[in-house]
Structure 1
């Protein structure tokens, strides 16, 4: 398997771990400031979240990173196993990672929903193209 396909996967994993750190930082800060007081919520995650918006957006972004990107990792592995790692595959993979990074920045900062949706939609184009390119 061509090792070069590992690097975009490492990029996505690094983004995911970065959001985990951001979430932890925001969550512990909110608890420390007394902005999150109903810790019983976390036993069942039922009802309205007791956390400030910044914590909720980081949590939601982390959830997002376990949705569509889960189609990214097997595509990269398939490309490596099928001998389809080339400039096109790597360009599509890196494009996906970069666009998802921008999506995360928008989500965890200003969280403009329209902008975020456009970036999300755009991120799916290289992912779909990656799957199509590997398949044919």
Structure 2
């Protein structure tokens, strides 16, 4: 397997690791609160608002890992399938993942909405470039 393919697989793994890490942090916030009775199960059966702010932030960040990253996973898998992996794809993939880490860090700490939105838009721009580059490479090269 070429180095570029390995680096793309590692980018996927890094994104998956972020998702799992947020899930673990969310579990550490939520489970003890339910087990201690601080949060009643009936209050969270449909709505998360009964959880404290940190638990809600982690939950929202976790949910967000199934939005843009899904398009990232598809792009990288199509890249690998098509054999269209080069250094441009690697750089764009890792830049996207880095921006997802920035976005998640903002989301679960200060949650400064304009900073978080900036990180989100930057990630979207990189993902858009990755898709445009991929489509161009597959169709025209």
Root mean square deviation, CA, Å: 1.6
Show the counterpart of 1:11.
14
Asked whether the 8 Å contact 1:89–1:130 carries over to 2, the reply is: yes
Show the counterpart of 1:40.
42
Show the counterpart of 2:104.
104
Show the counterpart of 1:50.
50
Asked whether the 8 Å contact 1:30–1:52 carries over to 2, the reply is: no
Q: Secondary structure at the match of 2:30?
A: helix
Aligned residues: 133
Change (3 A) 1:60 1:71: same
Show the counterpart of 1:20.
23
Structure 1 residue runs of 5 or longer lacking an equivalent are: none
TM-score (norm: length of structure 1): 0.90
Show the counterpart of 1:70.
70
Q: Deviations over 1:114-134 (max 9, x none)?
A: 111111111111100110111
Structure 2 residue runs of 5 or longer lacking an equivalent are: 137-141
Show the counterpart of 1:135.
135
Please state which structure has a larger fraction of its residues in helix.
2
Q: 2:70 and 2:98 mapped to 1: Cα distance?
A: 16
Q: 2:43 and 2:85 mapped to 1: Cα distance?
A: 46
